[in-house]
Amino acid sequence: MDEYLASLGLSPGELNKVLYHRANMAKPGMDAEGNPITIYATGIQIPSGKLKGQFVSVPGFVGGKVIDSENELWKIWKKDIEAGKWPVYPTSEALNARDAWLHQVMERDMQLMRAKTTPAEPVYYKDPFGLPD
C-alpha cells in the first residue's frame, strides 16, 4: 500500500475497493460518454445471512462489463461479502456518503495516470523537411 492510501484510514473493505479500481486502470471499461469505468461501485442491500438488511458496496464492473442487477451482484460477491472483503454500512445513506468520498480517491488515481501519459509540454507537428513553422 502506498503512503497516500495508508494516510486515509480506510477500512479493509474500502482498501479492497481502491485496489480493485487500480487493478482495472490499465484496461478500464468505457461508459456511453467515453469515460473510463474501473469499478462501478454499486450499493446493494444484503438479502440474507448475519449481515441481512445492511448495505454493501461492491464492484459492478465485473469481467469487463457493467452489471446493474443487485441479485446478480449478490450471487457474484456473496462469499466475498460474507468474508468481509467489501465494506458494509448500516444504511444506504452511509454507503452513499462513503462511496462519494472513495470516488474522489479513485478519481485522484485517474488524474495521476493521465498526468503520466500527457506530455509536460505540448507536442506540435514538426515538418520533416525542416521548413520554418
Residue 18 is placed in which grid cell? Answer: 481502491
Amino acid making up residue 64: G
Does the pTM of the predicted model rise above 0.85? no
Angstrom distance (rounded) from CA 53 to CA 45: 6
pLDDT level of residue 120 (50, 70, 90 thresholds)? low
Is a pLDDT exceeding 90 seen at residue 86?
yes
Task: Give dist(CA 111, CA 13) in Å, integer.
Answer: 23
Q: Provide the residue ranges of all domains of the chain, joining segments of one domain with +.
A: 3-111
